[in-house]
Structure 1
Amino acid sequence: MPRYSTGEAPGGHSYLQKAAMNGSCKIENGGLKNGYVKNGVCPEDRILNGGLYKRPFHEAFEETPMLVAVLTYMGYGILTLFGYLRDFLRAWKIEKCHNATEREDQRDFVPLYQDFENFYTRNLYMRIRDNWNRPVCSVPGERVDIMERFTDDYNWTFKFTGRVIKGVINMGSYNYLGFAQNSGFCAEASAVVLQQYGGGVCSTRQEMGNLDKHEELEHLVAEFLGVDAAMTYGMGFATNSMNIPALAGKGCLILSDELNHASLVLGARLSGATIRIFKHNNMQSLEKLLRDAIVHGQPRTHRPWRKILILVEGIYSMEGSIVRLPEVIALKKKYKAYLYLDEAHSIGALGPNGRGVVDYFGLDPRDVDIMMGTFTKSFGGAGGYIGGSKVSSCL
């Protein structure tokens, strides 16, 4: 059996093509649409991609109906036209503008927002603003208390009634496990540590900001992940944006999922490496880029790439999709690339032991070169970490 998802099956066809001919899976546009099974086809998962998956893995998403999509775009178009009309009326003082405006002597400064961003906020978002930015007056647990408010000028300003709406279901929090509560073991342990160490070290770890708790945390993270060592950081976003440039640079190739988080995108751009994007969770797209990179090498010179780094997330927070990690690892091994896995949303909340997407698929953590995650979601804290081998060949 091959080690990768699109290996040759008897008869000269790939396993995915073979499955399609057997009727067990629906293939579109030369591969699984967007990398996953459409409409829940493959009920028995007979194509476990060369034995990569230890258990059935279903991931199906309902496509947006065409009528809904068309009406949505029409609605945006109509609101945009009316928005320009109202801006014209405001410019001629026919309609009163409640929006903050710059003074004449500040016109030469760099604008804080782009023109269209201001336009969108003023004319589209303002109409539905009462549904968002609700002031919360409780701990952000599974249910929250919010302050009731009303508006008498079409959402330009709000006034509080003094009434508190209790027990509202919280669907906008990353407090997956409830560790951010103000009571319980986590809160009590945090209070003890804060009493002893304070709220911050006010210095870099290289100078006088390194505490025994930092090193204890890193040992604990490494043990939890099942890797040799880990390093912790004070900010999850910076963990990606500042470490990726240390792992890749000029002469390196970064292959990034098209739906990767902004921190991964920024880190890739800061690295100076060549960046190529593959379709979301689509292993055919990723393998084509890997094959082309090996065959053609660097542009113009055609020298081999110094390093090929694949950037993926464990769970993509906006889509809710899980990375097809067994296939990514198989492709990484086949083409001798490196893998950077962002588990900001999967660590702690996914897998039978809560150890993230690697645990979810029952894989060996040593097959992932760099395991990154944050403490700001499941763990109810702040900061991030990277874990891997003590002497990593990725460096």
Structure 2
Amino acid sequence: MLESLKIQTNHFKLHISLSHTLSKYSNHILLLIAIFKSHHKSKKMIAIPYLTALTTYFSYGLLFAFGQFRDFFRKIFDWFRYNNLHGYAPICLGLEDFYIRRLYLRIQDCFGRPISSAPDAWFDVVERYSNDNNKTLKRTDKVSRCLNLGSYNYLGFAAADEYCTPRVVESLEQYSPSTCSTRVDGGSTTALHNELEDCVAHFVRKPAALVFGMGYVTNSAILPVLMGKGSLIISDSLNHNSIVNGARGSGATIRVFLHNTPQHLEEVLRELIAEGQPRTHRPWKKIMVIVEGIYSMEGELCKLPEIIAICKKYKVYTYLDEAHSIGAVGKTGRGVCELLDVDTADVDIMMGTFTKSFGSCGGYIAGTKELIQYLKYTCPAHLYATSISPPAAQQIISSIKVILGEDGSNRGAQKLAQIRENSNFFRSELQKMGFEVLGDNDSPVMPIMLYNPAKIPAFSRECLRQNVAVVTVAFPATPLLLARARICISASHSKEDLVKALQVINRVGDLVGIKYFLAEPIKQKFD
């Protein structure tokens, strides 16, 4: 396979042991260099400055070298400690968590920050401190009021809403917080669950839908039911980990294609169809191509029309994950199919979550009535997991009604117009300032590339000090050398909020040194 393809498949790995020998680690570095070269050839990616790549490699090299040196002495102390286990093997192997000990723990104050309010445009971040170099963090009674640039609250429904909140409270009083049983047990499928599934099917323009209590499980539990031994899954190399785990659990043969590259997808399909199953070369029982509507770490829109055309040409099924696109893009919020003018009948299986645009929890699968009926009989997430909370279900129903204007107002259309305007304005201004911003227009997700490990905590901490809360993302959510800050824009952000955020990010960008391109003169208005 291509070296770049080997690298992008690292996105399918949840962990890499960095306590290998230096020679093995060097091989990882050589492979990771290939991804930068491949990005240079991609029209969707900005060319990475060689000096930035060089300093990033050098920084990780220093971290690795000094970490290995310290671990040499740690082995001596661990030898005495493990000899006192009375024959038991250690539950936590001390030298197999190199990355966590030598990098993550030192900057863990940048992650998992607790809040004490709704995740609205502004929220209260609880302040923390550490007395042991960030190994443990303790909360204080102080909070900081910060501008929220990290939550998936795309349409603002996660905060109190004049239409949704009263109905959610009413459903809580009527149905209680939980059904305390699975969907196939008595009393767990309420009238709200049936209404929600009809509402979702109508919203995504599919004959039927099935809802689940957790978005992650929707992918990881569905794929093993639909695919199995003798089947073939062809997955985008940057698909979400829930898809990765679901594909692995299915027992099907898995192949990946270069991220958002329809030409490579067709090459992979043609080759694998010709070869057939491994060893026997029999025809595949079924083939499924899995893509996302908006890639959560890239902010890119899927090239869905081209991919659909290829799937129809080779008679393979299409599975579309719209976790970040449903409700957030499209004229009426119906996702990338509406935005890119794709007939939903051409997408065999539509998956999405309610944790973003709808301000709730859970996920759904939409498709034909036969497919949904089959899943009701076979899917473990439906048969064995507790059903979605009734108040959460009511929140989804109410938010969809607002989006479609069925609440008697035009607030839904205003929210959709606002998030589109906010996203495009914010992305454009960041690019003018000289930041390397990934993603496409209309996408509310916009990663700002950081690269260097030292810039991850520097950018996050300095933004927080100036009352702007951002999310920084590093390995294993991204490849090791492609750290970034992921900005998520909401319809609840006002123009003043965005201008303030740009002012802070502009100053911090200059301070940290992450403006990798020449800024345009327009940036002066944010000084």
TM-score range, shorter chain: 0.7 to 0.9
Of 164, 172, 192 in structure 2, the residue corresponding to residue 186 of structure 1 is 164
More moved, 244-253 vs 337-346: 244-253
Residues 329 and 36 (structure 1 numbering): CA distance in 2 closer, same or farther, change over 3 Å?
A: farther
- TM-fit CA distance, 1:386: 0.6
Is 2:350 aligned against 1:366? no
Query: Structure 1: which 5+ runs fail to align?
Result: 1-32, 39-59
Q: 1:161 to 1:244 in 2, by over 3 A?
A: closer
1:237 aligns with 2:221: no
- Once residues 139 and 271 of structure 2 are traced to their aligned partners in structure 1, the CA distance between those partners, rounded to angstroms, is 60
Gap change, CA 1:139 and 1:89, over 3 Å in 2? same
Whether the 8 Å CA contact 1:36–1:282 is kept in 2: the answer is no
Q: Distance in 1 between matches of 2:318 and 2:83?
A: 51
Secondary structure of the structure 2 residue equivalent to 1:391: helix
- The one-letter code matched in structure 2 to 1:169 is L
Pairwise CA distance, 1:192? 0.9
Residue 199 of structure 1 is aligned with which of 165, 168, 177? 177
- Distance in 2, matches of 1:62 and 1:78, equals 27
Q: CA deviation at 1:388?
A: 1.2
Judging changes above 3 Å, is the alpha-carbon distance between structure 1 residues 170 and 114 closer, same or farther for their aligned structure 2 residues? farther
Q: Note closer, same or farther for the CA distance 1:319–1:217 as it changes in structure 2 (3 Å cut).
A: same
Q: Deviations over 1:290-342 (max 9, x none)?
A: 11233232233333222111111111101111110000110011111100111
1:71-105 per-residue CA deviation (whole Å, 9 max, x = no partner) reads: 11211221222223344556678xxx9xxx98943
Aligned counterpart in structure 1 of residue 274 of structure 2, from 270, 283, 295: 295
Q: In structure 1, how many angstroms separate the alpha carbons of the residues matched to 2:158 and 2:82?
A: 40
Higher mean displacement: 248-257 or 214-223: 248-257
Counterpart contact for 1:34–1:279, Cα < 8 Å = no
Letter in 1 for 2:88: D
Q: Could you give the per-residue CA deviations for residues 45-68 of structure 1, whole angstroms, max 9, x where no partner exists? A: xxxxxxxxxxxxxxx332322211
Question: Normalising by the residue count of structure 1, what TM-score does the alignment of the two structures yield?
Answer: 0.77
What are the Cα deviations for residues 14-39 of structure 1, in whole angstroms up to 9, with x where unaligned?
xxxxxxxxxxxxxxxxxxx779962x
Determine whether 1:246 maps to 2:230. no
Partner Cα distance (2:90, 2:129) in 1: 34
Amino acid in structure 2 at the alignment position of 1:142: A
Structure 2 Cα separation of the partners of residues 198 and 113 of structure 1: 43
Q: Distance in 2 between matches of 1:280 and 1:305?
A: 23
In 1, the alpha carbon distance for the partners of 2:250 and 2:130 equals 48
Residue in 1 that maps onto 2:367: 388
Residue matched to 1:72: 56
Structure 2, unaligned runs of 5 or more: 1-37, 375-527
The 10-residue stretch of structure 1 (175-184 or 65-74) with the greater mean CA deviation from structure 2:
175-184
| 1:130 Cα offset (Å) | 3.1
Please, which moves more after superposition, 64-73 or 221-230?
64-73
Q: 1:176 to 1:116 in 2, by over 3 A?
A: farther
Cα offsets for 1:343-362 (capped at 9, x unmatched): 11111111111111111101
**2:91 maps to which residue?**
111
Q: 1:323 to 1:165 in 2, by over 3 A?
A: same
- Aligned AA (1:105): L
Compute the displacement of 1:225 (Å).
Answer: 0.5
Q: Structure 1 129/300 Cα, relative in aligned 2: closer, same or farther at 3 Å?
A: closer
Q: Distance in 2 between matches of 1:317 and 1:148?
A: 27
| Offset of residue 185 of structure 1 | 2.4
Percent of counterpart pairs with the same letter?
A: 50
TM-score of the two chains, using structure 2 as the length reference = 0.59
Cα distance in 2, alignment partners of residues 91 and 304 from structure 1: 52
Structure 2 residue 65 is matched with structure 1 residue 81:
yes
SS at match of 2:350: strand
CA contact (8 A) 2:39 2:46 kept: no
Structure-2 change in CA distance of 1:354 and 1:37 (3 Å): farther
Partner residue of 2:32? none
Q: Tell me which amino acid in the other structure corresponds to 1:211.
A: T
Cα 1:373–1:231 change in 2 (3 A) is: same
Amino acid in structure 1 at the alignment position of 2:200: V
Residue 62 of structure 1 corresponds to 46
SS of the aligned residue for 2:370 comes to coil
Quote the Cα distance in structure 2 between the aligned partners of 1:174 and 1:312.
20
For 1:90-129, list aligned pairs within 5 A. 104-105=84-85, 108-109=88-89, 111-112=91-92, 115-117=95-97, 119-129=98-108
The amino acid of 1:70's aligned partner reads: L
Larger Rg: 1
Decide which structure has greater helix share.
Answer: 2
- 2:53 partner amino acid: A
Asked which structure has the greater RCO (Cα within 8 Å, sep 6+), the reply is 2
Counterpart of 1:175 in structure 2 is 153
Change (3 A) 1:297 1:161: closer
SS at match of 1:105: coil
Q: Is the 8 A contact 1:34 1:281 kept in 2?
A: no
1:1-395 matches, within 5 Å, as 38=43, 60-88=44-72, 104-105=84-85, 108-109=88-89, 111-112=91-92, 115-117=95-97, 119-158=98-137, 162-166=141-145, 168-208=146-186, 209-392=188-371
For 1:278 and 1:357, how far apart are their aligned partners in 2?
20
Other structure's SS at 1:275 match: strand
Q: 1:147 to 1:245 in 2, by over 3 A?
A: closer
Moved more, 156-165 or 266-275: 156-165
Aligned equivalents of 2:372, 2:287: Cα separation in 1 = 12
Pick which of 204-213 and 78-87 moved more: 78-87
Separation (CA, whole Å) in 1 of partners of 2:339 and 2:293 = 10
Question: 129-138 or 305-314: which moved more?
Answer: 129-138
CA positional deviation for 1:176: 1.5
Once residues 382 and 142 of structure 1 are traced to their aligned partners in structure 2, the CA distance between those partners, rounded to angstroms, is 19
Q: How many angstroms does 1:129 deviate by?
A: 3.0
Distance 1:393 1:275, change over 3 A: farther
Over 3 Å counting, the alpha-carbon distance change for 1:153 and 1:389 in structure 2 is closer
Shift of 1:153: 4.2
In structure 2, how many angstroms separate the alpha carbons of the residues matched to 1:157 and 1:275? 39
Cα RMSD (Å) of the superposition? 2.9
CA distance in 2, matches of 1:36, 1:313: 22
